[in-house]
A and B are shown apart, each in its own frame.
Chain A
Amino acid sequence: MRDLANVALDTAQQKGASYADIRFVTDRSRNVSVKNGKVESLSNNESQGFGVRVIVNGAWGFSSSSLVTRAEIERVTAEAVQIARASASVFRQPVQLGDPISIQDRYVTPADIDVFSVSLDDQIKILLEADLEMRRVEGIRIANGMISTLKTSKIFASTEGSYIEQELSESGAGIEVYAVNEDGVQKRSYPNAFGGGWETGGFEYVHKLDLPGHARRISEEAIQLLTAPVCPTGVTNLILSSNQVALQVHESCGHPVELDRVMGMEASFAGTSFLTTEKKGNFRYGSDLVNVYADATVPRGLGTFGYDDEGVPAQRTPLILNGIFQDYITDRETAATLGQQSNGTSRADGWNRIPMIRMTNINLEPGNAGSLEDIIAATDEGIFMDTNKSWSIDDKRLNFQFGLEAAWEIKNGKRGQLYRNPAYTGMTPVFWGSCDLIGSRDHWTVWGVPNCGKGEPMQGMHVGHGAAPARFHNIKIFGA
């Protein structure tokens, strides 16, 4: 592939590019899903191609194709140069990438059981066993289960001399049930909603989840929710499950620290950020307990890799320390505008997309409050909410509202009444400022989020969030 890479890099330079890179990407995935005792879908997908990125006259151009031949690479590279020249007709300052980067390396995701080595028969058996358990509980209307396994092969080469090969693998699995009565639909999920749990690594993750072992519990809770009262309205101590803390981190920490958003590059679609550059190093983001890192090196994180799609090594970067905002996540272009080096977060959703700043694993570091049950025991009065059902946040990432699957009243350190349709709302810095307990490392999980959306054309991204259960005081709650 080096020869084909050089076709693009040489062609780009001959046509006037001051910088060029090419990525060859092959994505392969297998998906199994079951629904109400039958296999809903069984699919095998592959997509391959290449993308060429160039800077000509100080402006970007990008073109891509699924046809990987020498002639097509020459055509697409010429097209990228033509596009860059058009970009240069409406631009302000030439793109700067900071110091050149030249790396030759190979990275492979560590895995115990190759994700494609487990037969689909065995995967179907896991899901049908869980399905049977879910539907043993009377009143369940829909039972769903899914397992997905993915492998991505990438080659990155640049005119600065980099040539990096990566073989990434990951898996995801989950189950969910729906129960219905005249008051509405109730849902419970395990280990998380909207796609289940995800990690990089091998199929051992799916085995570890033990989907059948959690099937009956979620069904029983869904049935109980049908007749539970609607969550009351008020202001109280809010305890969140670690999977919801992960999503809270995603929406109200991960997206605001993307430097391209801060600089307005996402303004027309996903929005901007309240976290303007004068806040760097001095803005109080949360209480002293709040420490957040971007860490693309944490084992098994869904946002873990060897190198980003600009060939920058994976890194661990402090974003918030003791509640004070420290730094953004960056790519080469945006970092250079602040006089910094990229902290390696530029990724693309496939060969046909341009890399942009994406979360890696944005982790809320563990505290010392023990387990979820320890946090509940330490709470005289409040509410515990579990597993996300709905999310929304404004275009500067301040006003948010989350709906959850289930909530329990907390009184004198114990779980009490179950509530349906719970929701809470708040403003980002006020909310994180109210964080007064975070669970310990033994109860800290790196949750995979496989559906982060950003950019035009839309790019989906797989990211991770380390989180433990946590408590927040004076939070507005209500029932939907």
Chain B
Amino acid sequence: MSEILGRDKVIQLLQDGLSAATADQTEITFGGARKSLTRFANNYIHQNVNESNTSIRVRSVFGRKIGSASTNRLDASAIKETIKMAEQLARLQVEDPDFVSLPGPDANTGELSYPEPDQATYFSDPQLRADGAGAICRKAVANGLIAAGAFETTGVEEAVVNSLGLASYYQGTSSHLNTVVMGDAGSGWGERLSRKVGEIDYEAVAEEAVGKALRSQSPIALDPGEYEVILEEYAVAEMLNYMSYLGFGALSIQEDRSFMELGKQIMSPLVTIYDDGNSPEGIVSPFDAEGVHRRKVTLIDKGVANAVVYDSYTANREIGKHNTGHSSGAQGDVGAIPLNMFIGAGDKTKEEMIKSIKRGLWVTRFHYVNPLVPEKAVLTGMTRDGTFLIENGEITRPVKNFRFTQSAVEALNEVVALSSDRRLLPSFAFGNLVPAIHCRRFTFNSATEF
């Protein structure tokens, strides 16, 4: 499928499907996507791919029994077969006492408002992506370096209808570019995310990554231990992503495995974190996997654990809680999660943050992060693509990469400054807008050879 079907056609397709359903409640979700990605390495394009796909997912409910089925065929007979399969599965189910209902139309108030999809991004020209890759490769070659990276464009068309009368539809776009630029002994990173491919400044990305790669050559070895650090936006966004599913969803609270102690000061008063799927500063995704409009939720308010996000299932399990429109559609331990997070900006420039440090580390980004103690948000991972020693208020030397093992909550409790500039970077599905942060303490427990 290479065309955008449009609201009327998609909603009609799903309503036709609903008319064939026999369950007490039925939900049909449509996803259409056109994704293109150009990958480069060793200063040339080595992969260049395009994908047009659709998906139909059906949830059927008999009483408190739920079954689901999916297909990527769009013809009427395939949709009817998928509904039939979901209903068969639902009948096999045992009752789920915690299930109350699919969300009704009253879950949403008012019309959705979202930016028009960017046509240049939705139907991106492969030559435009090649031009971006080429600019980075040429800059790398001119400096005796090697570039690798990926330039991606995505256009999506999504809709959810259910038999209670809920109907949500939107179109959206995003574009993402990343690059690592490598020398013999050190590398640099650059990355951008935007709703529009035309706003991706690939020359600036090349400048940033090449500059950092040149400064990263011949790193010194330092002992692992506790360091004062500045975490650049890339590192902050990575840490935040893991926090999103470890503790910012209601299910993790309900199952006693969240780091969130609601009402308690768990982070620095400088830290405020909120989720807002409708903010034009992010990658807008106006409703969740159940078609419920996303509400703005302040997760951390000046360091205090303020709230978590809900879907219909987890909201119905707690008295007085409301669905915040954060269903991930995933089963199991995930539940509702925030995917459009913002950390409030600070008032410092990065230069001012560096000047305030007598001896510390500048960390560009993290690699291969994984939770070690999930309920305390203890994460481990490596530094990568630009780790530097700060001495007497100046970046002095590149440093060989460290492994960190550190609670993300405790790191955010040690924040003494945040940058006034923020950068939009990928979340697990959309985007997070984050500043760089200055932490008094951060634990590195081993080092590697490069």
Interface residues of A (CB under 8 A from B): 33, 35, 38-49, 59-67, 75-76, 79-80, 82-84, 86-87, 89-92, 120-121, 124, 128, 141-142, 144, 178, 180, 184-185, 263-269, 271, 274, 352-354, 356, 389-396, 398-399, 401, 403, 421, 423, 425, 427, 456-457, 476, 478, 480
Contacts and interface: CB of A to CB of B under 8 A. Distances in A.
Given A64-B50, A83-B48, A390-B371, A398 B449 contact: yes
Contact of B370 (A33, A185, A392): A392
Interface stretch (B101-109, B147-155, B166-174, B194-202): B147-155
B300 to A, nearest CB: 21
A329 B149 CA distance: 22
Nearest to B330: A41
Contact of A268 (B66, B74, B180): B180
Contacts of B36: 83
Interface string B319-341: 00000000000011100000000
B357 interface: no
Given A41-B68, A392-B369, A264 B331 contact: no
A64 B130 contact: no
B50 A83 contact: yes
A225 B130 CA distance: 54
Contacts of B117: none
Given A75-B2, A398-B449, A399-B448, A44 B89 contact: yes
Given A90-B44, A91-B44, A392 B69 contact: no
Interface in B339-369: 367-369
Given A87-B130, A421-B373, A480-B373, A392 B48 contact: no
21 contacts: A35-B332, A39-B94, A42-B89, A43-B68, A43-B89, A47-B72, A184-B373, A263-B41, A265-B39, A265-B42, A268-B150, A271-B368, A354-B49, A389-B372, A392-B370, A393-B368, A394-B448, A396-B449, A399-B403, A399-B448, A480-B372
A41 B333 CA distance: 12
A185 B85 CA distance: 37
B126 A86 contact: yes
B9 interface: no
Contacts of A271: 367-368, 384
A121 B73 CA distance: 27
Contacts of B380: 390, 392, 401, 403
Contact of B332 (A33, A184, A185, A356): A33
Interface string B121-162: 000011101100110010000000010111010000000000
Given A267-B180, A391-B370, A38 B256 contact: no
A457 B35 contact: yes
Which of A61, A92, A184, A395 has the most CB atoms of chain B within a 10 A radius of its CB?
A395
| 10 nearest CB pairs, A to B | A86-B126, A267-B148, A399-B448, A41-B331, A63-B50, A90-B134, A268-B148, A87-B45, A86-B130, A92-B44
Contacts of B44: 90-92
Contacts of A184: 373, 375-376
B382 A394 contact: yes
A274 to B, nearest CB: 8
Interface in B64-123: 66-74, 85-86, 89-90, 92-97
Contacts of A178: 255, 257
A367 to B, nearest CB: 28
A61 B373 contact: no
B405 A394 contact: no
A457 B372 contact: no
Given A90-B44, A184-B376, A268-B41, A396 B450 contact: yes
